[in-house]
Amino acid sequence: MDLWQTCPNMFCGNEMQIVFDRALARVSTLDLLTLDPIEISRKTSMTVMEAEELICRVVEGCIPKVQKFLLEEEKQFLTTGDRVIDGVLSGGIPLGHVIEIAGESGTGKSQFCMQLCLTVQLPRVLGGLERGAIYISTETGLSTKRLFEMAQGLTNRLKQEYPDVDLCLDGVGDRVYCATCVDLEEQDHIIHFQLPVALERYNAGLVVLDNITTHYRAEYDISKVYSQTKTTNNTAKSGLVDLVNRSRDLVRLGAHLRSLASKHHCAIIVINQVSDKITYSTETLLDLNYQGAWFQGWSHGEYPCKVPSLGFVWSNNIHSRILLLRSTLYEISHMSPSRALRIVFSPFCAPAQIDIEIRYEGKKAKKHVKFNSKHIKNNGYDAENEDVSKEADDLSGFKKIRQKVLVLSSRGITFRQRHLMKDLVDMLPHSKKDTKFDMKSKLYHLNEVAELYNCNNIMFFEARKHQDLYIWMTKVPNGPTVKFHVQNAHTMDDLHLTGNCLKGSRPILSFDAGFDMEPHMKLVKELFSQIMGVPKGSRKSKPFIDHVLTFSYADHKIWFRNYQIVEKTPGKKVSSYSDTDISLVEIGPRFVLTLICVLEGSFGGPVIYENKEFITPSKMRSFIRKEKLNKYHNRQIAMAEKSIKKKENVLPVNPLNNNVLFKD
């Protein structure tokens, strides 16, 4: 019977409780709302009066309390700690809503949520709730060191702005309750059973789930749906089953979170990851990729275009979506990357975007803000006219870029392949080298190794059969991943070229025009820029450029060359238009890459591009062996036919031959 799930707070007297419990085992809630009391009495052996009383109680339990709902309709907001961001959000983070914070790795999603864990403890006069926070982590856990740093910075700033308010955030960690989930089963148990109890026990006004994507990507393998074209295949069917089960679990989770937010009058923040999306020039207005921009957050033509994880099903189960954006590291020469906060959709504020920056006390909007919406007001507060011009930070100083590449290989790598990897490591001063990786099948474990070294890029050399070499390049932890086959590899020792470049120098990346012709090649170009390019200010890099890395695309292959920039000053006889002679001298290494596939995630996920023309070296060797075997069989058949033909073409015996005449 589903009555107690539909109306859990329905009250029955003690004298009717036994009768109702016996009757409810035979009818459902739908029967009580649709059938006649006489029919219910016949099915349950109840009297008609008891059936009518039960129906009245069920109807009262199902009808929402409209008057109470209207009295509580006035929204309450939780401040973000910055007045400009609160103005864009029409007052801050609304209570009773499920809000998603999406963005790439390094955009500050966790720091934004930690900032909310501090502001929820502020007094109500400062926009806080004087309540605690619950932080549920699915990966590394809460960074308490950064939390206390932000608490100290926020306290100092608020004491200067509000000297009359008694403010103390010394025991801030005592009101932030943390939990860590190691798998999807534990995550569901914590959210469905432990979280409701914790909300009532600790009077929490904020719940943070960081992040929702990790375990769903690990538990449900939906890449089989995209990699298989025939749905009759058993592999594709299993992928469809995982997709349906994941959608069902997401709908159930979204409904549960919305119910908790409304019942306990708290804000629930869900962090979501993003993945790269390949766009095509032939898109129409009816295509899902075109229509998806309205709820995904990235406009058409914006590059690089990303897609929030978990698809359209999860987008329908949240109230609001906020994106945290960060510019490409290599587009900025002397300043830290620019950051922005974008409101994709929300029922309480208009879509807008503002520039933000990360400070010691957390995220703040920049001094000069351009709003997408012209009228963003909250109870007479106009964010555009608000004077926030304070003493600006000194942005002239250069900030180091934390960009690292983990380079490692598998077991079975040869001497030449090891030297090729060493040459590439010497050209990447921002790289970290690790020992050999034992496994070749479960490469997603490399993400954990990269986190140990604090790297956000991986270059993995996979050797097979002591003669084939594959290179994997990926962005940690959200992808994408690109797999190449290496051919015609020559190290610096093999070439014996005269050129040379200084260790730790920064290169110039030169790409062929073919990288801009197809969408997947644009993605490969961006990945090469992130991994092979050395950003200014990275670890062990030198402030000069003395070599060029060229990537040429021809015959569906990528040709890699490394050239030294040689500057020579001519003698007395110089031309009037130049004083130096600049030339390029190849120094190696050199190799050729064949693109095999592009995966959406980091060493996993749907296959968004696959090279159908690629034939593995093992198959090529198998074809060669078969051709040699066929040649051998053909020779054997020819020899047998020759012997048979020789026997058939024997001349008849001459009866006048002496051997025949004088045989006896």
Q: What integer pLDDT is reported at residue 3 of this predicted model?
A: 52
Q: Which residues pair with 177 in a beta bridge?
A: 134
* Structural domain for 166, as ranges: 80-222+239-373
The yes-or-no verdict on residue 389 having pLDDT over 50 is: no
Q: What's the whole-number average pLDDT of the chain?
A: 78
> Do 54 and 85 share a domain, yes or no?
no
- CATH number, domain with residue 555: 3.40.50.10480
Q: What integer pLDDT is reported at residue 74 of this predicted model?
A: 59
Q: Which residues pair with 560 in a beta bridge?
A: 551, 591
What confidence tens digit (pLDDT) does each residue in 566-583 have? 877 655 454 444 566 788
- CATH number, domain with residue 112: 3.40.50.300
The answer to whether position 395 is within a domain reads no
Task: Find out whether the peptide bond into 64 is cis, omega within 30 degrees of 0.
Answer: no
> Do 190 and 62 share a domain, yes or no?
no
Q: What integer pLDDT is reported at residue 384 of this predicted model?
A: 34
Between these two residues, 528 and 288, which has the higher pLDDT value? Answer: 528
Share of the chain above pLDDT 70, in %: 75
| C-alpha to C-alpha distance for 279 and 102, rounded to whole angstroms | 20
The yes-or-no verdict on residue 118 having pLDDT over 50 is: yes
Boundary of a domain, candidates 350, 373, 396: 373
- Which residues fall within 8 angstroms of residue 35, CB to CB, at 6 or more apart? 27
The answer to whether position 234 is within a domain reads no
> Do 13 and 137 share a domain, yes or no?
no
The answer to whether position 227 is within a domain reads no
> Do 188 and 263 share a domain, yes or no?
yes
The answer to whether position 134 is within a domain reads yes
> Do 54 and 87 share a domain, yes or no?
no
Q: DSSP per residue over 419-480, as a string?
A: HHHHHHHHH-TTEEE---B--SS-GGGHHHHHHHTT-SEEEEEEEETTTEEEEEEEETTT--
> Do 152 and 11 share a domain, yes or no?
no
Q: Which residues of 162-194 are buried (b: 16+ CB within 10 A; e: fewer)?
A: eeeeebebeebeebbbebebeebeebbebbeee
What confidence tens digit (pLDDT) does each residue in 237-292 have? 666 777 888 888 999 999 999 999 999 999 999 999 887 766 665 566 666 666 66
Least confident residue range of 76-90, 203-217, 510-524, 624-638: 624-638
What confidence tens digit (pLDDT) does each residue in 586-600 have? 888 899 999 999 998
Task: Kindly state the DSSP code that residue 393 receives in the 8-state scheme.
Answer: P
> Do 350 and 211 share a domain, yes or no?
yes
Least confident residue range of 138-142, 382-386, 455-459, 518-522: 382-386
> Do 356 and 443 share a domain, yes or no?
no
Boundary of a domain, candidates 49, 72, 95: 72
Element (H, E) at 622: helix 617-648
Q: What integer pLDDT is reported at residue 386 of this predicted model?
A: 36
Between these two residues, 215 and 551, which has the higher pLDDT value? Answer: 551
> Do 188 and 336 share a domain, yes or no?
yes
The answer to whether position 53 is within a domain reads yes
What confidence tens digit (pLDDT) does each residue in 26-54 have? 777 777 778 888 888 787 777 888 888 87
Average pLDDT over residues 466-476: 89
- Which residues fall within 8 angstroms of residue 329, CB to CB, at 6 or more apart? 337, 401, 403, 530, 535
Average pLDDT over residues 99-114: 88
Task: Kindly state the DSSP code that residue 410 receives in the 8-state scheme.
Answer: B
Least confident residue range of 53-57, 247-251, 608-612: 53-57
Counted domains in the chain: 3
Q: What integer pLDDT is reported at residue 253 of this predicted model?
A: 92
> Do 480 and 427 share a domain, yes or no?
yes
Q: What integer pLDDT is reported at residue 559 of this predicted model?
A: 93
Q: What integer pLDDT is reported at residue 625 of this predicted model?
A: 84
What confidence tens digit (pLDDT) does each residue in 203-218 have? 999 999 988 888 888 7
| C-alpha to C-alpha distance for 267 and 200, rounded to whole angstroms | 14
> Do 251 and 296 share a domain, yes or no?
yes
Least confident residue range of 101-110, 383-392, 538-547: 383-392
CA dihedral 375, 376, 379, 385 (to 10 degrees): -80
Whole-structure pTM value: 0.51
The answer to whether position 18 is within a domain reads yes
Between these two residues, 304 and 475, which has the higher pLDDT value? Answer: 475
Task: Kindly state the DSSP code that residue 100 receives in the 8-state scheme.
Answer: E
The yes-or-no verdict on residue 329 having pLDDT over 70 is: no
At 38, the amino acid letter reads I
Boundary of a domain, candidates 24, 52, 72: 72
- CA dihedral for 292, 296, 299, 304, sign (positive or negative): negative
The answer to whether position 31 is within a domain reads yes
Top mean-pLDDT range of 161-165, 215-219, 272-276, 510-514: 510-514
Tokens of 540: 């062990």
> Do 208 and 319 share a domain, yes or no?
yes
The answer to whether position 643 is within a domain reads no
The yes-or-no verdict on residue 663 having pLDDT over 70 is: yes
Residue 364 pLDDT class (50, 70, 90 cuts): low
